[in-house]
């Protein structure tokens, strides 16, 4: 069954255009991540899908059925809110049981389902507590339990991990992945954290300025970013993109020249990820000499910030590489940019060049 945004536009009363002709289609059972910087429209897209926000124009379809005008409760979707939105006046048990009661699930069935879900999320010990007595991580689990207990078709999550501390965030991430594998529920997960997106998503929708720029598997997004924006947004440190031009089969930029045989003449950005640059201790055929600026140890890797004239690059390499410790700022290093790792983006549109 397909879930689709069809040309959805959202203009807020203050004139802000949150979504601009947004198009996205995915299959149920997927773990879809909506990824983008703040203001890209990802949260708006999620809320429109939920029915919490009306679209200014366009349609939402599930399995070919137009649900644009349905109220939230008739959409078969649940949601985990960023601040969890637990009912402060109800116990944990009642919070989880609540959607079942509202939906008229028979009483004798409710208890079993609440307990099963609580066990799944390992919160069965907390059933009697009030939300005010829970830690952030516990409250988050209760929110997830409340969203999953009635087995909705789609579970929406709006930055559900951003209020957790770093360690808990990693644990919960793994947890969500396990839940998805077990339940086969469709998850739609909104985040601005590219690492979260890469680890969680079966497919990632990258948004920019209210439009979809790429919808692909994490692997494709990483290896074949559709635009310079995606390339720079995914991966840390960000991809090096060197502005220059191709002329006569050679790429020329300020301080760098590379052979790119068979390429048409055009102005381009030449991209290469820091981890794909090869580092050599002494001059080598096809390698270029740079001067080392700063070294940063990010165990087990090392980041090298290098310069050559106006050109600055970041290189990521193994920290235990032989001879690396001896390199001091100011030392000369030789970098090789392997042809198969290079990305080309049109200088004007930013689009990937095949």
Partner 1 sequence: MVALATLVVVLVIALTPYLWLLMTSFKTRLDALADAPVWLFTPTLEHYPMVFLDKGYLPMVGNSLIVAGVSTALSLAIGVPAAYVFARHDFAGKEDLFFFFLTTRMAPPISVVVPMFLFFGYVGLIDTRTSVILAHSTFNLSLVVWMMRGFFADIPREIDEAAQMDGHTRAGMFLRVLLPLAAPGMAATAVLCFILSWNEFLYALILVAFESRTLTVGIPGLVTPHGTLWGQVAAVAVVATLPIIVFTFLVQRHLVRGLTFGAVKG
Q: Which of 24, 147, 148, 337 binds partner 1 (CB under 8 A)?
A: 147
Beta carbon of residue 286, minimum distance to partner 1 (angstroms, whole number): 56
Which tokens go with 350?
Answer: 């930013």
Beta carbon of residue 112, minimum distance to partner 1 (angstroms, whole number): 19
Calculate the CA 168 to chain-centre distance: 18
Site residues for partner 1, window 45-74 (CB under 8 A)?
47, 50-52, 71-73
Spatial contact of 228 and 36, defined as CB atoms under 8 Å apart: no
Q: Which of 6, 11, 30, 81 binds partner 1 (CB under 8 A)?
A: 81
Q: Which of 9, 68, 83, 91 binds partner 1 (CB under 8 A)?
A: 83
Q: Does 103 bind partner 1 (CB under 8 A)?
A: yes
In the complex with partner 1, which residue's Cβ is closer, 79 or 123? 79
Question: Distance (Å, rounded) from C-alpha 203 to C-alpha 26?
Answer: 9
- Radius of gyration, alpha carbons of the chain: 24
> Which contiguous run of DSSP H or E holds residue 111?
helix 107-120
Which tokens go with 112?
Answer: 């079993």
Q: Which of 1, 2, 102, 298 binds partner 1 (CB under 8 A)?
A: 102
Beta carbon of residue 332, minimum distance to partner 1 (angstroms, whole number): 56
Q: Report the b/e string of 140-175 with b at 16+ CB within 10 A.
A: bbbbbbbbbbbebbbbbbbbbbebbeeebbeebbeb
Burial class (CB in 10 A: 0-12, 13-18, 19+), 112: exposed
Q: Does 94 bind partner 1 (CB under 8 A)?
A: no
Tokens 């349905």 sit at which residue? 70
Sheet of 65-66, strands arranged across: 17-27, 2-11, 57-62, 65-66
Site residues for partner 1, window 216-275 (CB under 8 A)?
none
Q: Does 89 bind partner 1 (CB under 8 A)?
A: yes
Beta carbon of residue 44, minimum distance to partner 1 (angstroms, whole number): 13
Give me the 153-192 binding string for partner 1, x by CB under 8 A, dash otherwise. ---x------------------------------------
In the complex with partner 1, which residue's Cβ is closer, 14 or 182? 14
Residue 163: half-sphere exposure toward Cβ, Cα within 13 Å: 18
Q: Helix, strand or coil for residue 192?
A: coil
Name the residues that contact partner 1, by CB under 8 A. 13, 47, 50-52, 71-73, 77-79, 81-89, 98-99, 102-103, 146-147, 150, 156
């Amino acid at each position: 069954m397909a879930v689709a945004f069809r040309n959805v536009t959202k203009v807020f009363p203050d004139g802000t255009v949150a979504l601009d002709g947004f198009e996205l289609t995915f299959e149920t059972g997927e773990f879809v991540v909506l990824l983008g910087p703040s203001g890209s429209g990802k949260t708006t897209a999620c809320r429109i899908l939920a029915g919490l926000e009306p679209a200014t124009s366009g349609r939402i379809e599930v399995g070919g059925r137009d649900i644009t005008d349905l109220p939230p409760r008739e959409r078969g979707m649940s949601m985990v809110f960023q601040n969890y939105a637990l009912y402060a006046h109800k116990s944990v048990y009642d919070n989880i049981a609540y959607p079942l009661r509202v939906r008229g699930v028979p009483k004798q069935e409710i208890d079993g389902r609440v307990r099963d879900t609580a066990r799944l999320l390992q919160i069965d010990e907390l059933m009697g507590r009030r939300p005010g007595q829970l830690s952030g991580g516990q409250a988050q689990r209760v929110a997830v339990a409340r969203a999953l207990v009635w087995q909705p078709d789609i579970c929406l999550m709006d930055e559900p991990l951003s209020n957790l501390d770093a360690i808990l965030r990693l644990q919960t991430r793994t947890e969500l992945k396990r839940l998805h594998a077990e339940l086969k529920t469709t998850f739609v997960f909104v985040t601005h954290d590219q690492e979260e997106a890469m680890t969680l998503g079966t497919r990632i929708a990258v948004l920019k300025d209210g439009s979809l720029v790429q919808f692909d598997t994490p692997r494709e997004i990483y290896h074949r970013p559709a635009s310079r924006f995606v390339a720079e947004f995914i991966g840390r440190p960000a991809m090096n993109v060197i502005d220059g031009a191709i002329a006569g089969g050679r790429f020329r930029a300020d301080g760098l020249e590379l052979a790119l045989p068979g390429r048409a003449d055009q102005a381009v950005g030449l991209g290469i990820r820091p981890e794909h640059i090869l580092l050599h201790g002494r001059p080598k055929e096809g390698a270029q000499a740079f001067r080392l600026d700063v070294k940063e140890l990010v165990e087990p890797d090392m980041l090298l910030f290098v310069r050559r004239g106006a050109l600055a690059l970041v290189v990521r390499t193994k920290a235990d590489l032989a001879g690396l410790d001896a390199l001091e700022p100011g030392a000369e290093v030789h970098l090789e940019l392997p042809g198969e790792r290079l990305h080309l983006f049109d200088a004007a549109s930013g689009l990937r060049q095949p």
